[in-house]
Structure 1
Amino acid sequence: MKQGWMKVFILSCCFFLITAVLGGCQGDKVNEASGGFKAGKYTGQAEGKDGTIKVEVTMEQADRIKDIQVISQTETAGLGDNAIEQVKKQILEGQTLSVDAVSGASLSSQALVAAVEDAVKQAGGDLETLKAAKIKKAGEGKTEKLVADVVIVGAGASGVSAAVTAADKGAKVIILEKTGVIGGASNLSWAGKFYNSSVAVENGVKVNVEKEIADWIVNNHWRVDAAAIRQYVTKSGETYDWLKSKGYETTFINFAGEQLHMLPAYDTREKLLRNMLAESVEQHGGQVLTETTAKELMTGQHGEVTGVKAVKTDGTTLEITAKSVVMATGGYAGNKEMVKESFGFEGVNGGLGQNVGEGLKMAWAAGAKVPDNFGGQMLHQTLARATAKLKKEYSSFEASYPLMVSYLPNFMNVGPSGARFRDEAATLTSVAAANTSAFNGPYHLVIVSKSQLDALASKGMKGVKAPELPGMPPEFYADFKDRFTLEQPWDNAEKVFESMVKNGDGYKGETVEELAQNAGMDVEVFRAAFNNYAEATKTGIDTEFGKAGEYLLPMGTEGPYYAVIAEVNNLGSVGGLLVNTKFQVLNDKRVPVKGLYAVGLESEGVLFNDTYVGNGVGLGYSFTSGRLGGESAAAEALGL
């Protein structure tokens, strides 16, 4: 009996072992040769330009990626999300992590690669093999020759406008855009200024043209082209009607007496511009080539510009001959080294990453003059470094607390050293706020005391006697506009500011001295500035900067104290090419380089001295210069 039981036991054990082995073979396969690699699905993530990108990667072999699924991402619609899909396709088709970043969305591109790398590491995959593999582009070594009357380089607001008017004049136009998106910065902008447009006049708002021109010239210290300013002020109103006739209708706003025109809804703009190109450029036999990057201007034996060399994403080289070439490449604000060298600015690029200055460099190489006022930037908004991280923990309204205090005149502002540097009422005007800060350093600090934070928590901005709502761009508060009131209490205010400090985007100190130390300020400098400011809040007289008494909010007598890191947003560079009123690019002798034109930001330096001081001018000028410059380029090409 015992012997029979023992046989049954042994047979059962053998069966169990066999089942276990077989079961293991049916689960994740272990690749011994690759040091324990397991095929299967793995989740990876990385920080993109606008948030975290999370992916699920299916690994088939140690060096083979079977599939990539994007679980979540918040990259810019039409640019960042498009880049993610393109890079994903490159990785899968080439079985490589050595892929090209998509023009204009390098951060999004790099983030997707990093997220996939994260997943591959978890699987124990062969990263070195995947990084070593190179993609062979189908068009490498091939050259295609095209012919046009006018070539436009760049398809933002100015480039599209130039292409449309040139085509409407009868020119065969080829427009090149290195990204996959038409519209450029206009897709992100709010409003443009079209002086004395028909709709503005209908609404009873009319600008005194001669006074506007005279004040403009004086405000820019006379270091501008008076003819260019006159042309913009007197001709931009026509641009409103022209855009409307093309189906791109803007909405007039009387913005404290300024004639601003809101662009169409964000999600409709690219389609409207594509329709304009289709109905003019393509109907006249021209072409719209996206994901095609201009590399060099072709020139003749007398220095005249005769066309453009460009490269498509598949590696094919294009040689496009033309009688007129229009540069509409959007400046160089995305090139931080170039901005630092030319202007000394170290803040945030709030424009497009693809604008890195290669258009300017091509034009300079072809004989264009570098303007005497080269370096100007469009500094236009204040940002709080804390916002993005806080939005992962709190509602958008709560996450914007540090940002909102940076737009109010009631709080003390100091530079990196701890010295106060301005009348904080400058925060009420975007251009003044941006330029006073940038002149002071790469960032400034907004000081908020315990008593001030308590007042915000209990009574909202009314509790700190805010004169008006923070003057942030509408897109900054679009998703919490129902709570964006002076009376709305700031729930969780202390908790939010504590998180800001924890995330490294602000500082805290129980005393003034401790705050200075933690923020890297000079203790003596900050203590003196703080004491002087505190005295001003008591007397109601600011002897240092003349700040109005109603903005001198008491700081209280006890800590903690917080410092918000506030930075300046650069919407774009201003200028780089000198043009006349036909938008012909000038050489060192201020004579036109034959066949070369420039519109948009590349040519805007003729309007401003050393930095942009307009409101809506950037966009208004882009559409207007494009409209007029395209006509001039077509006229030369067609001999009109």
Structure 2
Amino acid sequence: MKKLLSLVLALAMMMTLVSVASADPLTASVAGFGGDVTITVELDADGVITAISADGSTQTPEVGGAAAATLNEGALAALVGTKLADVDTKAIDSVTGATITSDAIKTAIDMLKAQAGGAEAAQVKDGTYTVTVPGYSVTEQMTLNFTFEGGKLTNIETVTAGNTPVIFATVEERLYPRLIESQSLETDAVSGATVASSAVKQALAMAIEQAGGSAADWHTPIEKSTEVIDLDGYDVIVVGLGGAGMTAYLSAAEKGATVFGIEKAAKVGGNSTNTAGPMAINPPSRVEANGGQIVPPEDLLKDWAEYTTIDGQQDAKLDVVEKFIAESGETLDWMESYTFEFAPQMAAFFHPAGWQVWATYGGKNGGTKDDGYIAAIETAKAMNEKNDYMLELEAKELIMEDGKVAGVKAVAWDGTTYNIHGKSVVLATGGYAGDPELEKEYIHGVWKTEAMTQCDGAGIRMAQEAVNANLYNMDVVPVSHIAQVYNIIKNDDLTKDQKAVLTSLVIDNSYPVIGENGKRVNDQIGMFFSFDCWAAGPTYFVIYSEDDINAFKTEGLKNANVPMFLAQGGTVEANKPVTDLDTILEVGKQYGDVYEAASLKELGEAINVPNITELVEDNGKAYYAVKGASYIYSTCGGLEVDTNINVIDTDGNPVPGLYATGNDSIGVLLASEKAYVTYGGAAAGWSLTSGRLAGANAAAYAKGE
């Protein structure tokens, strides 16, 4: 009997061990800064944590990713052996400079506690709670008031936006009511305003906690629509309503076509509303006012050809360049005949020739670009009662019938699928600055962006998948006019003046400037650091010795450098001792902007530049690196097109009824691995002109003309 009892007990223990070993881990995901942060927890039979880890791989590696790693190695590792139900996430310190990621991790743990223990949701207390968090702006934080009544969110009020006003308006108009309706932090971000949306949800989570609730209880799933809607009978479908898409939509409608527009973001205009102006060669109205030709087109074409020649081989498609030069001026006058106004005088850019090739613009009667874009789309829509467009609608694939382009499948923000059928399609999705994988494949890594990242290469991928479209110069250097520290400090951890000092250090060409590719690029940086730092790649380091740093503390910076863009409002002076430099550098370290090492060799190891001793003179002392980034507006490679803006397949044939415009095809104007041309406004000009030409050609094709 004893033997039998012992056997039963042994079997029971084995079954318990098997049960514990085979139990599925608990996981929970919460939106962080760059994507979801996921917590995985393994528990024993008593609810004791046996393993716990945070996956922050979608976050910024040096900040959010580093925060996840720091918590994994520290606070989370310390939780092993603790009952999950007893974990107090409020006692877990957030990682400095990575509040969003840290809070997401803590919220995910609270979600797992509720999942494992079935805890009752904590009731929020009625009242209005004010929260301040960094938004998109680099000069102003976002402050919001959240009102709760009866345990529910009833109102959101903007105190300070901390974001681009016209973009944040889409958050106020769309995200605020959706949050109130859903009562869930799982509500999707507004496309085209991802950073602002994430900041609003972070602020709401903080307000819930202030009100005595738990943000973990507000991550309730949101049901998506499964409805499928067919829209038939269109001549032209325009995918993307930025600069290229707007002119394509207007041009096609003007030619009598029925047109449907698809825009992933919550507003029209895309990145084109953030640029100063387009290239426009000899607009007839300006030529007349000037008393003759402004720019010799043959000279411009010759210079363009020389710039885009590599090792004796012409890389740009000069017939398309010539077409662009000939048509860009016409585009300016055509746009003025509708809802836009351009500066009366053409202006020159940085090119040595000083050709007057571009002009700033806005809406009619002093309106903004956004005013002009909205008015243009509405004008085009009114040209035919069937014409229409939708915002927050994401194109997924081209519809093919009998081997021909026959429309676009798209999904709306609420999950509804739209099959939009038409005779031709114009791709105007803005390039691939929002797709990290394409960036890694073609332009040497992920670049910081000042652009709207809904431009994620959708048009390029759809054309490749559906018609085997040919790529052309995908590796052209992206448009970069901005340099700043890699992780811009947007809160009050530094004063404005302290931020100005840090920025000055990261744009100083009188000290070694080294890319992560292990190349020193000082000789490639001219008088405008921001326009040339792309030569180092997506990121770079400015190197300072311990002697340099000590001199700055007692004698001041040798140069007071102020950025052309993304300045944060502070003042920096040369030859004025920076007595608080240690504080500035220490905060910079916490944000991943500053590295310090006891020797030059150790610094190279820290920043992954092992050949640093070959690039910088070693004085045998400690060294510092200040990390900077080129902030880009757009990528410059894409699909091959011909002079009709028709997409070309890999066999060299034009694809009937398919057109690619703007940054989806600008590679045909440029050269592999070389920078964007410097005449002024070429990308904006190509967007507006290629869109106008493509819209007209698509309409003619659809109508059989």
Q: TM-score range by the shorter chain?
A: 0.7 to 0.9
1:404: Cα distance to partner? 4.4
Instruction: Indicate the residue corresponding to 1:292 in structure 2.
Output: 393
User: Residues 69-109 of structure 1, C-alpha deviation per residue, up to 9 Å, x if partnerless?
Assistant: 33433122222442254222112112222212211222222
Is the CA contact (8 Å cut-off) linking 2:485 and 2:506 kept in structure 1? no
| Pairs within 5 Å for 1:236-315 | 236-251=328-343, 252-256=346-350, 257-264=354-361, 268-285=368-385, 286-301=387-402, 303-315=403-415
Instruction: Indicate the residue corresponding to 1:18 in structure 2.
Output: none
1:363 matched to 2:426? The reply is no
1:185 matched to 2:277? The reply is no
1:405: Cα distance to partner? 5.2
Is the CA contact (8 Å cut-off) linking 2:662 and 2:687 kept in structure 1? yes
1:345: Cα distance to partner? 1.8
Is the CA contact (8 Å cut-off) linking 1:151 and 1:173 kept in structure 2? yes
Instruction: Indicate the residue corresponding to 1:385 in structure 2.
Output: 485
**CA separation in 2, counterparts of 1:347 and 1:37?**
41
1:443 matched to 2:529? The reply is no
**CA separation in 1, counterparts of 2:582 and 2:701?**
60
277 and 129 in structure 1: CA distance in 2 versus 1, 3 angstrom threshold: same
Uncovered stretches (5+) of structure 1, i.e. residues with no partner: 1-31, 462-468, 535-557
Higher relative contact order (CA 8 A, sep 6+): 1
Give the secondary-structure state (helix, strand or coil) at the position aligned to 1:389. Answer: coil
Give the secondary-structure state (helix, strand or coil) at the position aligned to 2:510. Answer: coil
Cα RMSD between the aligned structures? 3.7
1:330: Cα distance to partner? 0.7
What is the letter of the counterpart of residue 700 of structure 2?
Answer: A
1:132: Cα distance to partner? 2.1
**Identity rate, percent:** 25
What is the letter of the counterpart of residue 235 of structure 2?
Answer: D
Give the secondary-structure state (helix, strand or coil) at the position aligned to 1:132. Answer: coil
1:305: Cα distance to partner? 0.8
Instruction: Indicate the residue corresponding to 2:195 in structure 1.
Output: 107
560 and 492 in structure 1: CA distance in 2 versus 1, 3 angstrom threshold: farther
Give the secondary-structure state (helix, strand or coil) at the position aligned to 2:207. Answer: helix
| Pairs within 5 Å for 1:425-440 | 426-428=525-527, 433-438=532-537
1:194 corresponds to which of 277, 280, 285:
280
From the CA coordinates, give the structure whose radius of gyration is larger: 1
391 and 562 in structure 1: CA distance in 2 versus 1, 3 angstrom threshold: farther
Instruction: Indicate the residue corresponding to 1:232 in structure 2.
Output: 324
Instruction: Indicate the residue corresponding to 2:657 in structure 1.
Output: 595
Instruction: Indicate the residue corresponding to 2:257 in structure 1.
Output: 171
What is the letter of the counterpart of residue 364 of structure 1?
Answer: Q
Give the secondary-structure state (helix, strand or coil) at the position aligned to 2:469. Answer: coil
User: Residues 50-85 of structure 1, C-alpha deviation per residue, up to 9 Å, x if partnerless?
Assistant: 3644433333455x3233333433122222442254
| Pairs within 5 Å for 1:391-406 | 392=492, 399-404=499-504, 406=506
**CA separation in 2, counterparts of 1:33 and 1:247?**
57
1:218 matched to 2:218? The reply is no
Instruction: Indicate the residue corresponding to 2:588 in structure 1.
Output: 503
Is the CA contact (8 Å cut-off) linking 2:278 and 2:682 kept in structure 1? yes
427 and 348 in structure 1: CA distance in 2 versus 1, 3 angstrom threshold: farther
1:608: Cα distance to partner? 1.9
Which deviates further from its counterpart, 284-293 or 583-592?
284-293
**CA separation in 2, counterparts of 1:372 and 1:67?**
49
Give the secondary-structure state (helix, strand or coil) at the position aligned to 2:659. Answer: strand
Which deviates further from its counterpart, 189-198 or 171-180?
189-198
Instruction: Indicate the residue corresponding to 2:442 in structure 1.
Output: 342
What is the letter of the counterpart of residue 576 of structure 1?
Answer: G
1:636: Cα distance to partner? 0.7
What is the letter of the counterpart of residue 391 of structure 2?
Answer: T
Q: Which runs of 4+ in 1 moved over 6 A?
A: 558-561
| Pairs within 5 Å for 1:418-429 | 421-424=520-523, 426-428=525-527
TM-score norm. by structure 1 comes to: 0.77
**CA separation in 1, counterparts of 2:556 and 2:394?**
51
Which deviates further from its counterpart, 602-611 or 407-416?
407-416
1:268: Cα distance to partner? 0.2
Is the CA contact (8 Å cut-off) linking 1:600 and 1:621 kept in structure 2? yes
Instruction: Indicate the residue corresponding to 2:35 in structure 1.
Output: none
TM-score norm. by structure 2 comes to: 0.71
What is the letter of the counterpart of residue 311 of structure 1?
Answer: V
**CA separation in 2, counterparts of 1:57 and 1:478?**
28
**CA separation in 2, counterparts of 1:48 and 1:478?**
14
1:44: Cα distance to partner? 4.1
**CA separation in 2, counterparts of 1:177 and 1:269?**
17
User: Residues 438-481 of structure 1, C-alpha deviation per residue, up to 9 Å, x if partnerless?
Assistant: 0xx733225382487479958864xxxxxxx87x54x546978x
265 and 403 in structure 1: CA distance in 2 versus 1, 3 angstrom threshold: farther
What is the letter of the counterpart of residue 372 of structure 2?
Answer: L
User: Residues 128-179 of structure 1, C-alpha deviation per residue, up to 9 Å, x if partnerless?
Assistant: 4431242455xx4251424221111111111111111111222122222122
Give the secondary-structure state (helix, strand or coil) at the position aligned to 1:531. Answer: coil
What is the letter of the counterpart of residue 633 of structure 2?
Answer: L
Between the two proteins, the alignment pairs up a number of residues equal to 563
1:114: Cα distance to partner? 2.1
**CA separation in 2, counterparts of 1:490 and 1:284?**
65
1:596: Cα distance to partner? 1.0
424 and 144 in structure 1: CA distance in 2 versus 1, 3 angstrom threshold: same
Give the secondary-structure state (helix, strand or coil) at the position aligned to 1:149. Answer: strand
| Pairs within 5 Å for 1:7-18 | none
Give the secondary-structure state (helix, strand or coil) at the position aligned to 1:444. Answer: strand
1:584 matched to 2:646? The reply is yes
71 and 213 in structure 1: CA distance in 2 versus 1, 3 angstrom threshold: closer
- The structure that is helix-richer by fraction is 1
**CA separation in 2, counterparts of 1:145 and 1:329?**
21
Instruction: Indicate the residue corresponding to 1:625 in structure 2.
Output: 690
1:614 matched to 2:677? The reply is yes
What is the letter of the counterpart of residue 333 of structure 2?
Answer: D
Give the secondary-structure state (helix, strand or coil) at the position aligned to 2:137. Answer: coil
Is the CA contact (8 Å cut-off) linking 1:405 and 1:411 kept in structure 2? no
Give the secondary-structure state (helix, strand or coil) at the position aligned to 2:631. Answer: strand
Give the secondary-structure state (helix, strand or coil) at the position aligned to 1:230. Answer: helix
Give the secondary-structure state (helix, strand or coil) at the position aligned to 2:702. Answer: helix
1:49 matched to 2:136? The reply is yes
44 and 429 in structure 1: CA distance in 2 versus 1, 3 angstrom threshold: closer
What is the letter of the counterpart of residue 521 of structure 2?
Answer: R
User: Residues 408-430 of structure 1, C-alpha deviation per residue, up to 9 Å, x if partnerless?
Assistant: 5433223459x661234524356
Give the secondary-structure state (helix, strand or coil) at the position aligned to 1:249. Answer: strand
167 and 316 in structure 1: CA distance in 2 versus 1, 3 angstrom threshold: same
Instruction: Indicate the residue corresponding to 1:156 in structure 2.
Output: 242
Which deviates further from its counterpart, 515-524 or 269-278?
515-524
Instruction: Indicate the residue corresponding to 1:134 in structure 2.
Output: 222
What is the letter of the counterpart of residue 503 of structure 1?
Answer: G
424 and 405 in structure 1: CA distance in 2 versus 1, 3 angstrom threshold: farther
What is the letter of the counterpart of residue 507 of structure 1?
Answer: V
Instruction: Indicate the residue corresponding to 1:464 in structure 2.
Output: none
1:598: Cα distance to partner? 1.0
**CA separation in 1, counterparts of 2:198 and 2:506?**
31
Instruction: Indicate the residue corresponding to 1:551 in structure 2.
Output: none
User: Residues 375-426 of structure 1, C-alpha deviation per residue, up to 9 Å, x if partnerless?
Assistant: 4341423422268326746776763444445545433223459x66123452
1:248: Cα distance to partner? 1.9
What is the letter of the counterpart of residue 625 of structure 1?
Answer: S
Instruction: Indicate the residue corresponding to 1:91 in structure 2.
Output: 179
Is the CA contact (8 Å cut-off) linking 1:507 and 1:519 kept in structure 2? no
Uncovered stretches (5+) of structure 2, i.e. residues with no partner: 1-118
Is the CA contact (8 Å cut-off) linking 1:149 and 1:638 kept in structure 2? yes
1:39: Cα distance to partner? 4.0
